[in-house]
């Protein structure tokens, strides 16, 4: 009897310990978000979004150049990365047994685990070193390379959720293969592909390392992809590691904006597929 | 209704042409992934060629890092990378396993989804934001409380001696631990969900407590998958750049004390690449990148293999 | 019955998955405007046989055939035959209802019409209505043609699939256990439908339910272990089967 009680107590104790782990794990999230709001929110005003940075030591100024830069760099990365990633994902789902699909799947997993800084070095060697100048475009390419494997894998996983019977039904109606694939299979799984793409965008939007020696950063508003360009994560890095109190203040505010962008994208991505794919019948 | 099924009218030719075009376009995009990888390996190798020729494998065991004299060795970087990642795992693994187990086995159904969603949000926070928080919130806190405490109680160990700077190996390890935790947690959670319920019920039916059912039946079944999750986390930690760069202190040195500043491969590339002028310096950094790439590829391949084995064995029915 | 014209026939048709043979050497002919039932225990090859007739079988990885399938006397496996156009002439309804989830009720029925030649809008609407009436679904859905097809009940979804199949006016309709996932009421409505549909179409239905075969079909063919065992008028096959295996099956001794 006593032994049984001891065993039960031990069980309760261990479960309690794990409950404590949950608290410890959620704590950093709350702390980080809390500090960001506490330190960053007060600097968020209209000027922050519409003004350019002022010389070091002066107060005020904004990060409009970095907002524009992030939009341009990430937008260009999407133009390159999304078609490649979605196309590759459709290929892997449409021709699952083929050698190329197996290779693409495996290589995607390898690339997914590759440190983003390594991809940055690659983009530098490939583009910056050959062109002999830093450019936002090189940064976009680096981000696109990070996006492609992520999007490839999620697209394939999402398409695989579409029941095979649906594909057969379309083919039995006399649909050609491409028509079946695009108008029935891909169309049905579109919310899932959107989710995968949004998650990829959310991840690369916060990436700093691949931009350090490609887009480089800039103090000026620029629309020229062939020139260095500012981006929100680069601004956070520069201001956080700089010596001025005003810069630190701006770093917090910029980080708050960056994290809002990333979190909104991540949550939107999850909501896009909620409750989908429940085939009845 | 056409009396013949033979394909001669225009729409049929169109459909067949469309199918061929469709496949060709998809094949091109699918080819892009392996081609990119091949290109990446080639460019890294081409970039490192000069340093490989100059230093050979001795690069990995030399501690010298002198851009002025053009002599480079990556041992302090490798040391820093390995130590910070290992320490991070030491902290993150028990924590994330505890969370994963609690969420799959014990927590009330209603809170399972929301809590794991919250923790996975940690993975969405950009690295540079962790670094910012690390510099201005975590390090001052550690310097004022935890580090002096460690020095006072465990100061007889060489790891907790010497001056407390703030930025250093231990700070980097703690921030890395927070960052890799969501990855280990969510992968182990998937692995645990793939364990068939019959395993649990069989143990409970024998009169085991819930804890005994877990350690006796569930964990052995999921073991290799959990190891895979941990290795995956290790891969993340090794390649993590920004946050580490901002809190590790950035010094090419090997120190016994965890309070001392260190350096990692990723951090060195991040700090020095844009400013390097000499070709041999750039090439040495590229060599570091190549080394880091090879290590992470091996680690990730091992992790995938282990996770894949559980998925095969467990059938992944409830996942 | 013997004088009815043959619409579709097979000559020594065998269907394989890689190296294993699912259907062996089956020669059968199906008369126009009749309901033909294919029965047999699961795994006997009846579904594979059905799928070989509209060339769906070859879409399964490793699927291939030998022998011939003749539609109005022409070999559908002859070189130059386009399987997509063939499938517009030989429609198919599956075991589970398969409405396209992203399309409205109207678009589902129109789906097969839109792959052929372009039709004027009014004609399209007219054809969709005819198809829905033909599938005995029009009265239930005429007020919500623009809503999603997924909201319909299982039985309604299956009739929608019938409407989708008959809309392009095929000559032959293949049904692969169309009532397997339906409740008795839904099953009954599909069965009633077959009586009206056979006035226009040639119908071949695979079923594992012998009562159903007896109720709806004019001729019945019994498949066993990939081979055709016996074929004949339904009443005759069920009352005085010629072969021992057939009798064993219909009296419930196996399968």
Give tens-digit pLDDT for A143-161: 999 999 999 999 999 999 9
CA-CA distances (angstroms) from residue A218 to A19, A53, A226, B132, C148? 47, 10, 13, 20, 51
Given this model, what pLDDT does residue B315 score?
39
Q: How confident is the model at residue B6 (pLDDT cuts 50, 70, 90)?
A: very low
Tell me which residue has tokens 């059968």.
Answer: C28
| Region for A32 from its dihedrals, namely left if φ exceeds 0, alpha if ψ lies in -120 to 50, beta otherwise | alpha
Answer yes or no: are the C-beta atoms of A91 and A103 closer than 8 Å: no
CA distance B106 to B100: 10
**Which subunits have 3 or more CB–CB pairs within 8 Å of chain C?**
A, B
Give DSSP secondary structure letters for A68-89. Answer: HHHHHHHHHHHHHHHHHHHHHH
Q: In the predicted model, what is the mean pLDDT of residues B73-101?
A: 95
A134 Cα to chain C: minimum distance (Å): 46
Report percent pLDDT > 70 for chain C.
97
Neighbours of A100 (CB within 10 A): 17
Given this model, what pLDDT does residue C255 score?
54
Among A263, A208, A207, which Cα is nearest to A241's? A208
Strand partners, C69: C10
CA distance B270 to B254: 19
The answer for residues whose C-beta is within 8 angstroms of residue A226's C-beta and 6 or more apart is A135, A136, A137
Residue of A nearest to C87 (CA): A174
* Chain-centroid distance, C-alpha C15: 18
Give tens-digit pLDDT for A82-132: 999 999 999 999 998 899 999 999 999 989 999 999 999 999 999 999 999
The answer to whether C100 contacts A172, with C-beta atoms less than 8 Å apart, is no
pLDDT at residue C237 tops 50: yes
Kindly report the backbone phi and psi dihedral angles of residue C229, in degrees, each rounded to the nearest multiple of 5, phi listed first: -90, -45
pLDDT at residue A3 tops 90: no
Among B164, B134, B147, which Cα is nearest to B246's? B134
B272 three-state secondary structure = helix
pLDDT at residue A277 tops 60: no
Neighbours of B279 (CB within 10 A): 12
Show which of residues 164-223 on chain B sit within 8 Å of chain A, judged by CB atoms: 178, 181, 185, 209-212
Give tens-digit pLDDT for C165-200: 999 999 999 999 999 988 999 999 999 999 999 999
Among B227, B212, B185, B190, which Cα is nearest to B314's? B190
Using alpha carbons only, give the angle C49, C53, C58 rounded to the nearest 5 degrees: 80
A280 contacts in chain C (CB < 8 Å) = 150, 154, 157
Given this model, what pLDDT does residue C43 score?
87
C5 three-state secondary structure = coil
Given this model, what pLDDT does residue B311 score?
66
Q: How confident is the model at residue B9 (pLDDT cuts 50, 70, 90)?
A: very low
Answer yes or no: are the C-beta atoms of A238 and A217 closer than 8 Å: yes
Rg (C-alpha) for chain C, rounded Å, is 18
- Burial category of A34 from C-beta neighbours within 10 Å (exposed 0-12, middle 13-18, buried 19 and up): exposed
The answer to whether C82 contacts B1, with C-beta atoms less than 8 Å apart, is no
The answer to whether A190 contacts C168, with C-beta atoms less than 8 Å apart, is no
CA-CA distances (angstroms) from residue B60 to A182, A183, B51, B56, B217? 51, 54, 11, 8, 43
In a mutational test of the B interface, the residue from C8, C82, C83 whose CB has the highest number of chain B CBs within 10 Å is C82
Pairing of strands C202-206, C35-39: parallel
Answer yes or no: are the C-beta atoms of A161 and A99 closer than 8 Å: no
Strand partners, A164: none
Rg (C-alpha) for chain A, rounded Å, is 24
Answer yes or no: are the C-beta atoms of B256 and B159 closer than 8 Å: yes
Answer yes or no: are the C-beta atoms of C23 and C191 closer than 8 Å: no
Give tens-digit pLDDT for C35-88: 999 999 988 999 999 999 999 999 888 999 999 999 999 999 998 888 988 999
CB contact A128 to C (< 8 Å): no
Residue of C nearest to A174 (CA): C84
Q: In the predicted model, what is the mean pLDDT of residues A7-28?
A: 89
Nearest to A29 among B34, B121, B212 (CB): B121
Tell me which residue has tokens 């991809």.
Answer: A119
The answer to whether A32 contacts B125, with C-beta atoms less than 8 Å apart, is yes
The answer to whether B5 contacts C86, with C-beta atoms less than 8 Å apart, is yes
The answer to whether C78 contacts B6, with C-beta atoms less than 8 Å apart, is yes
Show which of residues 182-241 on chain A sit within 8 Å of chain B, judged by CB atoms: 182, 202-203, 205-209, 212-213, 216, 233, 236-237, 240-241
The answer to whether B26 contacts A212, with C-beta atoms less than 8 Å apart, is no
Q: Which helix (H) or strand (E) holds B197?
A: helix B197-205
CA distance A153 to A231: 27
C-alpha count within 13 angstroms, C-beta hemisphere, residue C115: 31
CB contact B52 to A (< 8 Å): no
Given this model, what pLDDT does residue C254 score?
67
Among A137, A151, A145, A260, which Cα is nearest to A200's? A151
pLDDT at residue B4 tops 70: no
Kindly report the backbone phi and psi dihedral angles of residue C14, in degrees, each rounded to the nearest multiple of 5, phi listed first: -120, 140
Nearest to B7 among C71, C82, C169 (CB): C82
Give DSSP secondary structure letters for C11-74. Answer: EEEEEEETTEEEEEEEEEEEETT-EEEEE-STTSSHHHHHHHHTT-GGGSTTEEEEEEEEETTE
CB contact B135 to A (< 8 Å): yes
CB contact B157 to A (< 8 Å): no
Given this model, what pLDDT does residue A267 score?
86
The answer to whether A107 contacts B241, with C-beta atoms less than 8 Å apart, is no
Answer yes or no: are the C-beta atoms of B32 and A148 closer than 8 Å: yes
Predicted complex ipTM exceeds 0.85: yes
The answer to whether B241 contacts A116, with C-beta atoms less than 8 Å apart, is yes
Instruction: Enumerate domains of chain C plus CATH numbers.
Output: 6-99+172-250 (3.40.50.300)
* Chain-centroid distance, C-alpha A135: 21
CB contact A247 to B (< 8 Å): no
Strand partners, C63: C17
Among C60, A262, C57, which Cα is nearest to C69's? C57
* Chain-centroid distance, C-alpha C107: 22
Give tens-digit pLDDT for A241-251: 999 888 999 99
Given this model, what pLDDT does residue B305 score?
82
In a mutational test of the C interface, the residue from B1, B6, B8, B16 whose CB has the highest number of chain C CBs within 10 Å is B6
The answer to whether C100 contacts A168, with C-beta atoms less than 8 Å apart, is no
Q: How many CB pairs under 8 A join B and C?
A: 32
The helix-helix angle for B279-314 and A116-123 (nearest 10°) equals: 140
Residues in chain C: 255
Given this model, what pLDDT does residue B117 score?
85
A87 contacts in chain B (CB < 8 Å) = 25-26, 28-30, 32
Residues in chain A: 281
Kindly report the backbone phi and psi dihedral angles of residue C219, in degrees, each rounded to the nearest multiple of 5, phi listed first: -125, 155
The first and second tokens of residue C201, run together, are: 């179409």
Strand partners, C28: C10
Three-state SS string across A145-193, please? Answer: HHHHHHHHHHHHHHHHCCCHHHHHHHHHCCCCHHHHHHHHHHHHHHHHH
In whole numbers, what is the pLDDT of chain C averaged over residues? 92
Among B281, B78, B272, B290, which Cα is nearest to A114's? B290
Q: In the predicted model, what is the mean pLDDT of residues C208-215?
A: 92
C39 Cα to chain B: minimum distance (Å): 29
CB contact A182 to C (< 8 Å): no
Give tens-digit pLDDT for B257-288: 999 999 999 999 999 998 888 999 999 999 99
Q: In the predicted model, what is the mean pLDDT of residues A199-216?
A: 95
A50 Cα to chain B: minimum distance (Å): 22
Among A138, A122, A141, which Cα is nearest to A214's? A138
pLDDT at residue B12 tops 90: no
Show which of residues 161-190 on chain B sit within 8 Å of chain C, judged by CB atoms: none
Given this model, what pLDDT does residue B312 score?
66
Tell me which residue has tokens 């231990």.
Answer: B170
Could you tell me the pTM of the whole model? Answer: 0.89
Given this model, what pLDDT does residue A278 score?
40
Q: How confident is the model at residue B316 (pLDDT cuts 50, 70, 90)?
A: very low
The helix-helix angle for B219-239 and A116-123 (nearest 10°) equals: 40
Answer yes or no: are the C-beta atoms of B77 and B263 closer than 8 Å: yes
CB contact A50 to C (< 8 Å): no
C235 Cα to chain A: minimum distance (Å): 31
Q: Which residue has the higher pLDDT, C155 or A2?
A: C155
B285 contacts in chain A (CB < 8 Å) = 121
The answer to whether B11 contacts C116, with C-beta atoms less than 8 Å apart, is yes
The answer to whether B212 contacts A11, with C-beta atoms less than 8 Å apart, is yes
In whole numbers, what is the pLDDT of chain A averaged over residues? 91
CATH topology of domain B76-263+292-314: MetI-like fold (1.10.3720)
Q: How many CB pairs under 8 A join A and B?
A: 269
Rg (C-alpha) for chain B, rounded Å, is 25
Dihedral sign, CA of C22, C27, C33, C34?
Answer: negative
The answer for residues whose C-beta is within 8 angstroms of residue C184's C-beta and 6 or more apart is none
Q: How many CB pairs under 8 A join A and C?
A: 71
Report percent pLDDT > 70 for chain B.
92
The answer to whether C171 contacts B15, with C-beta atoms less than 8 Å apart, is no
Strand partners, C117: none
Neighbours of A115 (CB within 10 A): 24
pLDDT at residue C101 tops 70: yes
Residue of C nearest to A176 (CA): C84
Strand partners, C38: C206, C221
In whole numbers, what is the pLDDT of chain B averaged over residues? 88
Neighbours of A109 (CB within 10 A): 18
The answer to whether A21 contacts B99, with C-beta atoms less than 8 Å apart, is yes
Report percent pLDDT > 90 for chain C.
83
Dihedral sign, CA of B99, B103, B106, B107?
Answer: positive
Among B120, B175, B283, B274, which Cα is nearest to A234's? B274
Kindly report the backbone phi and psi dihedral angles of residue C13, in degrees, each rounded to the nearest multiple of 5, phi listed first: -80, 125
pLDDT at residue B307 tops 90: no
Give tens-digit pLDDT for B131-145: 999 999 999 999 999
The answer to whether B5 contacts C89, with C-beta atoms less than 8 Å apart, is yes
pLDDT at residue B319 tops 50: no
Residues in chain B: 319
Q: Which residues from C are below 8 Å from B when comparing CB atoms?
A: 71-72, 74, 76, 78, 80-82, 84-86, 89, 116-117, 169, 171
Q: How confident is the model at residue B1 (pLDDT cuts 50, 70, 90)?
A: very low
pLDDT at residue B3 tops 60: no
Answer yes or no: are the C-beta atoms of B269 and A117 closer than 8 Å: yes
B236 contacts in chain A (CB < 8 Å) = 113
Give tens-digit pLDDT for B191-219: 999 888 888 888 888 888 888 888 888 99
A85 contacts in chain B (CB < 8 Å) = 29
**Which subunits have 3 or more CB–CB pairs within 8 Å of chain A?**
B, C
Show which of residues 54-73 on chain A sit within 8 Å of chain B, judged by CB atoms: none
CA distance B100 to A22: 9
Instruction: Report which DSSP code applies to C95.
Output: S
C171 contacts in chain B (CB < 8 Å) = 1
pLDDT at residue A48 tops 60: yes
């Amino acid at each position: 009897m006593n032994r049984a009680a001891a065993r039960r107590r031990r069980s309760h104790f261990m479960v309690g310990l794990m409950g404590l782990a949950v608290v410890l794990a959620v704590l950093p999230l709350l702390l980080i978000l809390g500090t960001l709001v506490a330190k960053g929110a007060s600097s968020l005003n209209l000027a922050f979004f519409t003004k350019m940075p002022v010389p070091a030591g002066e107060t005020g100024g904004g990060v409009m150049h970095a907002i524009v830069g992030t939009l341009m760099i990430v937008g260009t990365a999407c133009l390159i990365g999304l078609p490649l990633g979605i196309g590759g994902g459709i290929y892997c789902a449409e021709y699952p047994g083929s050698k190329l699909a197996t290779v693409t799947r495996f290589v995607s997993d390898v690339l997914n685990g590759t440190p983003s800084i390594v991809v940055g070095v690659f983009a530098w060697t490939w583009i910056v070193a050959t062109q002999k100048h830093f450019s936002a475009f090189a940064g976009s390419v680096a981000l696109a390379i990070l996006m492609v494997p992520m999007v490839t894998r999620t697209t394939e996983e999402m398409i695989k959720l579409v029941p095979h019977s649906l594909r057969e039904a379309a083919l039995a109606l006399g649909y050609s293969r491409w028509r079946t694939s695009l108008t029935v299979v891909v169309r049905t799984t579109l919310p899932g592909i959107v989710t995968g793409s949004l998650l990829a965008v959310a991840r690369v939007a916060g990436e700093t390392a691949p931009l350090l020696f490609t887009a480089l950063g800039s103090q000026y508003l620029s629309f020229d992809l062939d020139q260095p360009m500012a981006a929100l994560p680069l601004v956070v890095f520069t201001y956080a590691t700089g010596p001025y109190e005003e810069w630190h203040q701006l770093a917090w505010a910029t980080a708050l904006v960056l994290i809002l962008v990333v979190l909104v994208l991540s949550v939107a991505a999850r909501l896009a597929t909620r409750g989908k794919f429940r085939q009845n019948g | 209704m056409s009396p013949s099924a033979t394909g001669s009218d225009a729409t049929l030719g169109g459909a067949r042409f469309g199918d061929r075009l469709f496949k060709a376009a998809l094949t091109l995009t699918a080819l892009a992934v392996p081609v990119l990888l091949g290109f990446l390996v080639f460019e890294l190798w081409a970039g490192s060629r000069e340093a490989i020729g100059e230093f050979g494998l001795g690069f990995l065991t030399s501690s010298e890092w002198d851009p002025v004299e053009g002599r480079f060795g990556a041992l302090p970087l490798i040391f820093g990378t390995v130590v910070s990642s290992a320490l991070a795992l030491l902290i993150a693994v028990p924590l994330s396993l505890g969370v994963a187990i609690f969420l799959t086995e014990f927590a009330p159904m209603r809170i399972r989804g929301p809590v794991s969603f919250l923790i996975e949000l940690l993975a969405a926070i950009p690295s540079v934001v962790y670094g910012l928080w690390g510099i201005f919130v975590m390090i001052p806190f550690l310097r004022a409380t935890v580090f002096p405490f460690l020095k006072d109680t465990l100061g007889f160990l060489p790891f907790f001696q010497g001056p407390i700077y703030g930025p250093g190996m231990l700070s980097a390890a703690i921030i890395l631990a927070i960052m890799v935790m969501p990855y280990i947690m969510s992968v182990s959670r998937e692995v645990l969900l793939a364990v068939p319920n019959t395993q649990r019920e069989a143990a409970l039916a024998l009169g085991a407590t819930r804890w005994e059912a877990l350690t006796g039946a569930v964990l052995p079944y999921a073991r290799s998958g959990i190891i895979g999750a941990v290795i995956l986390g290790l891969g993340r930690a090794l390649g993590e750049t920004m946050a580490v760069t901002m809190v590790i202190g950035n010094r090419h040195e090997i120190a016994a004390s965890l309070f001392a500043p260190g350096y990692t491969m990723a951090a060195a590339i991040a700090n020095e690449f844009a400013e390097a002028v000499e070709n041999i310096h750039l090439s040495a950094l590229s060599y570091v990148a190549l080394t880091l790439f090879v290590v992470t590829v091996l680690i990730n391949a091992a992790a995938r293999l282990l996770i894949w084995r559980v998925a095969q064995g467990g059938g992944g029915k409830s996942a | 019955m013997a004088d009815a014209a043959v619409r579709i026939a097979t000559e020594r048709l065998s269907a394989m998955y890689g190296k294993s043979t699912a259907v062996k050497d089956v020669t059968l002919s199906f008369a126009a405007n009749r309901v033909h039932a294919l029965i047999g225990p699961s795994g006997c090859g009846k579904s594979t046989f059905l799928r070989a007739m509209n060339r769906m079988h070859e879409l399964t990885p490793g699927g291939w055939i030998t022998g011939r399938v003749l539609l109005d006397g022409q070999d559908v496996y002859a070189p130059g035959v386009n399987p997509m156009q063939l499938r517009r002439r030989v429609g198919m309804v599956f075991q589970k209802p398969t409405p396209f989830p992203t399309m409205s009720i109207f678009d589902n029925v129109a789906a097969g019409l839109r792959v052929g030649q372009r039709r004027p809008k009014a004609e399209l609407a007219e054809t969709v209505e005819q198809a829905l009436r033909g599938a005995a679904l029009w009265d239930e859905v005429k007020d919500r043609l623009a809503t999603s097809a997924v909201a319909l009940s299982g039985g309604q979804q299956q009739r929608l699939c019938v409407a989708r199949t008959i809309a392009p006016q095929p000559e032959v309709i293949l049904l692969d256990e169309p009532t397997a996932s339906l409740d008795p009421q839904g099953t009954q409505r599909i069965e009633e439908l077959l009586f009206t549909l056979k006035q226009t179409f040639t119908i071949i239905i695979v079923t594992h339910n012998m009562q159903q075969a007896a109720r709806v079909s004019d001729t019945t063919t019994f498949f066993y272990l990939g081979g055709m065992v016996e074929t004949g008028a339904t009443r005759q096959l069920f009352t005085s089967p010629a072969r021992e295996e057939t009798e064993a099956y219909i009296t419930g001794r196996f399968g």
